[in-house]
């Protein structure tokens, strides 16, 4: 592999790692293996620490491709817990409210699901990296300050659900860049006159690239360490 000329690799991001953790780990190993002080490494689309799955890593001159790689539709699988909410819309924060779920019928679930398909407006979570007056929204939220974010236009091409483990609802969603699955979980709960929290998330596709072709961080480190010299 020619890292300085450019490589694009697919990583299966582990739970609790930030996307930047993956970038840092791979960059350090590449620099050590090649004996260089600098090499560009970046990712095409952030995954939250509580999410796993496909992270596209661009190395060397391929970092110029990051913007184009981020444009494509993305597919996620995961689970929404109905009847409870957290301030972050996921398990980063503690449950703060409980809501009834007894009234939720299969018909109501399907009606709510259909509301999310197509071009819609979505407000990002306050626990997000969105900029508010020059500061990250999550920094303001964690400091207990009021955060108001504007809605973004997103596209959801499909949203399929399984209720076999109700009140946990498993889902598969395909969506555009800029979609917050945590917000879908929260808004889905509200559409059901209840609450919703994202309790697991995995990215399986991004721009036509699949998790099936990804390797773990450890597997990629083994590949990197097997590179003894820069090919020309």
- Catalytic (active-site) positions: 48
Distance from chain centroid for Cα 22: 14
CB-neighbour burial class of residue 152 (10 A; exposed 0-12, middle 13-18, buried 19+):
middle
Angle, nearest 10°, between helix axes 19-34 and 217-225?
A: 10
Q: Are 180 and 128 in contact (CB under 8 A)?
A: yes
CA distance 117 to 119: 7
What three-state secondary structure class fits 30?
A: helix
Compute and round to an integer the Cα radius of gyration of the chain: 19
């Amino acid at each position: 592999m020619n890292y300085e000329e450019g490589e694009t690799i697919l990583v299966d991001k582990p739970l609790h790692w930030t996307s930047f953790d993956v970038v840092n780990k791979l960059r350090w190993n590449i620099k050590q293996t090649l004996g260089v002080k600098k090499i560009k490494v970046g990712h095409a689309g952030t995954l939250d620490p509580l999410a796993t799955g496909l992270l596209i890593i661009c190395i060397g001159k391929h970092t110029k491709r990051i913007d184009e790689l981020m444009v494509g539709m993305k597919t996620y699988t995961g689970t929404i817990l109905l009847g409870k909410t957290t301030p972050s819309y996921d398990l980063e924060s503690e449950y703060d409210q409980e809501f009834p779920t007894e009234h939720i019928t299969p018909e109501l679930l399907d009606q709510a699901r259909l509301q999310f398909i197509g071009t819609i407006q979505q407000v990002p979570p306050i626990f997000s990296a969105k900029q508010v007056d020059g500061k990250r929204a999550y920094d303001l939220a964690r400091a207990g300050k009021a955060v108001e974010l504007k809605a973004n236009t997103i596209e959801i091409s499909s949203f399929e659900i399984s209720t076999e483990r109700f009140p946990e609802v498993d889902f598969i969603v395909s969506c555009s860049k800029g979609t917050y699955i945590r917000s879908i979980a929260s808004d889905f709960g509200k559409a059901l006159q209840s609450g919703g929290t994202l309790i697991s998330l995995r990215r399986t596709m991004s721009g036509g690239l699949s998790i099936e072709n990804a390797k773990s961080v450890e597997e990629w480190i083994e590949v990197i360490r097997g590179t003894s010299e820069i090919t020309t």
